[in-house]
Amino acid sequence: MTRLELRDVRKSFGALEVLADISLHVGEGEFVSILGPSGAGKSTLFQLLTGAVRGEGEMRFDGVPLDDHGSRFAFMPQRDALMPWRRVIDNAALGLEVQGMRRRAARERVAPLFAEFGLAGFERAWPAELSGGMRQRVALLRTVVQARDMLLLDEPFGALDALTRAAMQRWLEGMWRGHRWTALLITHDVREAVLLSDRIYVLSARPARVISEIPVPLPRPRTEGAALAREAAAIEAGILDTLLGATNSRPFDGEAK
Amino acid sequence: MSLPRSRQPRRLGTAFARTIPAVISLALLIAVWELYARFGGIAPTVLPAPSRVLQQAWENRAALAENTLPTIRATLAGFACSLVAAFVLSALVDFAPRLRRALFPILIASQTLPLVAIAPLVVLWFGFGLLPKILLVALVTFFPMMVALVEGYAATQKEIAEMLAAMGAGRWRIFRSARLPSALPYFFAGLRVSITYAVVGAIFAEYAGAAKGLGIYMLSAKNNFRPDLVLAAVTISSALTLMLFGLAVLIQHLAMPWERAGREDGQKSSTEGGR
Ligand SMILES: Nc1ncnc2c1ncn2[C@@H]1O[C@H](COP(=O)(O)OP(=O)(O)OP(=O)(O)O)[C@@H](O)[C@H]1O
Ligand SMILES: [Mg+2]
B130 in a structural domain: yes
The candidate with the shortest Cα–Cα distance to A139, out of A117, A106, A163, A122, is A117
Whole-number Å distance between alpha carbons of B11 and B17: 10
B49 in a structural domain: yes
B197-206: average pLDDT: 91
Q: How much is the pLDDT for A68?
A: 54
Ligand 1: which atom is nearest the Cα of residue A45? Answer: 18
If one counts every other C-beta atom within 10 angstroms of the C-beta of residue A130, the result is 25
Whether the pLDDT of residue A141 is over 80: the answer is yes
Query: Considering the entire predicted model, what is its pTM?
Result: 0.83
Residue A206 Cα to ligand 1 middle (Å)? 9
Q: Provide the residue range defining the domain that includes B188.
A: 44-257
Percent of chain A with pLDDT over 90: 47
The candidate with the shortest Cα–Cα distance to A56, out of A1, A12, A91, A14, is A12
Strands (E), B116-226: none
Whole-number Å distance between alpha carbons of A150 and A183: 6
Instruction: Give yes or no for B185 touching A (CB within 8 A).
Output: no
User: Which pLDDT tens digit goes with each residue over B160-179?
Assistant: 999 999 898 999 999 999 99
Q: How much is the pLDDT for B12?
A: 63
Whole-number Å distance between alpha carbons of A45 and B160: 18
Strands A56-61 and A2-13: antiparallel
Instruction: Give yes or no for A127 touching B (CB within 8 A).
Output: yes
Phi, psi of B255 (to 5 degrees): -80, -20
Instruction: Give yes or no for B249 touching A (CB within 8 A).
Output: no
Whole-number Å distance between alpha carbons of B35 and B47: 12
Mean predicted lDDT score pLDDT of chain B? 87
B45-66: average pLDDT: 90
Confidence of residue A86 (pLDDT cuts 50, 70, 90): very high
Confidence of residue B68 (pLDDT cuts 50, 70, 90): very high
User: Which pLDDT tens digit goes with each residue over A6-15?
Assistant: 999 999 998 8
Strand partners, A31: A183
B98 in a structural domain: yes
Which chain B positions have a beta carbon within 8 Å of A99's beta carbon?
Answer: 167-168
User: Which pLDDT tens digit goes with each residue over A165-202?
Assistant: 888 888 889 889 888 999 999 998 898 999 999 999 99
The ligand whose atoms approach the alpha carbon of A53 most closely is 1
A12 lines ligand 1 (CB under 6 A): no
Residue with the larger pLDDT of the pair B131 and B14: B131
Confidence of residue A67 (pLDDT cuts 50, 70, 90): confident
Q: How far apart are the first and last CA of chain B?
A: 18
B229-254: average pLDDT: 93
Confidence of residue B230 (pLDDT cuts 50, 70, 90): very high
Asked whether B120 and B208 are in contact (CB, 8 A), the reply is: yes
Q: How much is the pLDDT for B2?
A: 43
Asked whether B114 and B196 are in contact (CB, 8 A), the reply is: no
Confidence of residue B45 (pLDDT cuts 50, 70, 90): confident
Instruction: Give yes or no for B173 touching A (CB within 8 A).
Output: yes
Confidence of residue A230 (pLDDT cuts 50, 70, 90): confident
Mutational pocket test of ligand 1: of A42, A49, A247, the residue with most ligand atoms within 8 Å of the beta carbon: A42
Helix axes B214-223, B61-95, angle to 10 degrees: 130
Which residue in the set B163, B268, B275 is minimally distant from A129, CB to CB?
B268
Whether the pLDDT of residue B147 is over 80: the answer is yes
Whether the pLDDT of residue B259 is over 70: the answer is yes
Total structural domains within chain B: 1
Q: How much is the pLDDT for B275?
A: 33
Whether the pLDDT of residue A81 is over 50: the answer is yes
Instruction: Check A79 against B157: CB less than 8 A apart.
Output: yes
B2 in a structural domain: no
Q: How much is the pLDDT for A75?
A: 92
Confidence of residue A247 (pLDDT cuts 50, 70, 90): low
| CATH number of domain containing B231 | 1.10.3720.10
Which chain B positions have a beta carbon within 8 Å of A134's beta carbon?
Answer: 269, 272
**Which chain A residue is nearest to residue B169, measuring alpha carbons?**
A98
Q: How much is the pLDDT for A69?
A: 52
Strand partners, B169: none
